[in-house]
Homo-oligomer: A and B are copies of this chain.
Amino acid sequence: MKNTWGNNLQISLFGESHGPAIGVVIDGLGAGIELDMAFINGQLDKRKPKGKISTQRQEGDQFEIVSGVFQGRTTGTPLCLLIRNQSQHSKDYEATKYLVRPSHADFTAFEKYHGYQDYRGGGHFSGRITAPLVAAGAICLQILRDKGITVASHIRTCKGIEDIPFSNDQGEILQAAALLNERYFPTISAEAGEKMVSLIEDAHKKGDSVGGVLETVVVGMPTAIGEPFFGSVESVLSGLLFSVPAVKGVAFGEGFGFADLYGSEANDAFAVENGKIVTKTNHNGGINGGITNGMPLRIQTVIKPTPSIYQEQDTVDYRKGENAKLTIHGRHDPAIIHRARVVVDSVVAIGLVDLFCERYGYTWMEPKEEKEGTQ
């Protein structure tokens, strides 16, 4: 329940922003999965800061897989993936160590770890720790892809600017997903994207920051995945999504919009289409009673504005116990929502693979052909 997650797939995340390395152990992978290294690198690339709308900290994110892969394929034993930290300006943090940054985890880390935490760059609370999560997620996304399942996210809204929502049509969703896969700044409408980038650049100039809402879809999901109560798809995915720094809200289907609907408007009528039972609408986001109904999963995740802003802020000196002023310097993101989308895709994929294993075991993810065997 700490930094190790999962029932079937077990993910153990480690590392601090300015320590020697960050990484992840993935236990429970099936054997024989040929890793798509280009895809993993591509996913890490989407998480990297680029351009003016991101921090100038340049992270190579060169990863090394030190176990669990042999001759390019998973062995079925734990996979450890390591990313060495490089571009560290550790001294940036020394001076302001006791000036706990508002809305960051500095204060709570002091309270929890009594000052023994690695305070440099947020330490273990740094968004940087999501890089190995993206790598683990890339493996899970690849596993889902091989089953015909696609996960995609875009920025649905950002301070009032709206992107085109995902369609309910599977073909159109796949088209949008392909498009989003190409784009570093993930909007379906290029125009909406440009407006958001402008907004972020403006915020940056003012030393300010913004957040936004990500919309995620999963298409190709079969029915019957998930459990009634504590193992509901919503429970599993939200548990993972809320472990992503800056996420403060998660909703499925209409989400908070349900508060404004009558049951007669909110219910998804069933119908037979091409011999398959579908719902005519998808207000429930592909989940009934915690279990997938075969329709696309629809998830909304709100990302709060980056707490690192350049304006002077009121805070306290933790050691002295006195009020103080803080002006943050260094390299920070005026927005992380565009970088967060790949983290969201990743944890959704991790959660779904875990749920599949619950039902079908870890052999579910293994390639059909056996490499060896007389029996």
Are A360 and B358 interface neighbours, CB within 8 A?
Answer: no
A149 interfacial by beta-carbon distance below 8 Å:
no
Complex Cα distance, B129 from A53, in Å, reads 44
- Given A105-B289, A361-B358, A228:B125 Cβ within 8 A: yes
What are 11 residue pairs bridging A and B, where the CB atoms are less than 8 Å apart in the complex?
A: A2-B27, A5-B229, A77-B117, A103-B268, A107-B288, A108-B223, A108-B224, A114-B370, A229-B243, A256-B300, A284-B304
Q: In residues 2-55 of chain A, which contact B (Cβ within 8 Å)?
A: 2-5, 7-8, 10-16, 19-23, 25, 27-28, 31-32
Nearest-CB distance from A360 to chain B (Å)?
Answer: 4
- Given A267-B307, A305-B261, A359-B362, A375:B276 Cβ within 8 A: yes
Copies in the complex: 4
A118, A266, A322 — most chain B CB neighbours (10 Å): A266
A252 interfacial by beta-carbon distance below 8 Å:
yes
A321 interfacial by beta-carbon distance below 8 Å:
yes
Chain B contacts of A264 at CB under 8 A?
A: 208-209, 309, 311
Contact of A272 among B129, B208, B265, B322 (CB under 8 A): B322
A91 interfacial by beta-carbon distance below 8 Å:
no
**A-B contacts besides A107-B223, A277-B321, 12 pairs, CB < 8 Å:** A1-B358, A2-B28, A3-B78, A12-B27, A14-B66, A21-B66, A21-B80, A248-B285, A249-B250, A256-B302, A271-B314, A359-B361
- Residues of A in contact (CB 8 Å), total 168
Are B12 and A262 interface neighbours, CB within 8 A?
Answer: no
A147 interfacial by beta-carbon distance below 8 Å:
no
Chain B contacts of A362 at CB under 8 A?
A: 358-359
- Given A102-B269, A117-B77, A211-B261, A108:B292 Cβ within 8 A: yes
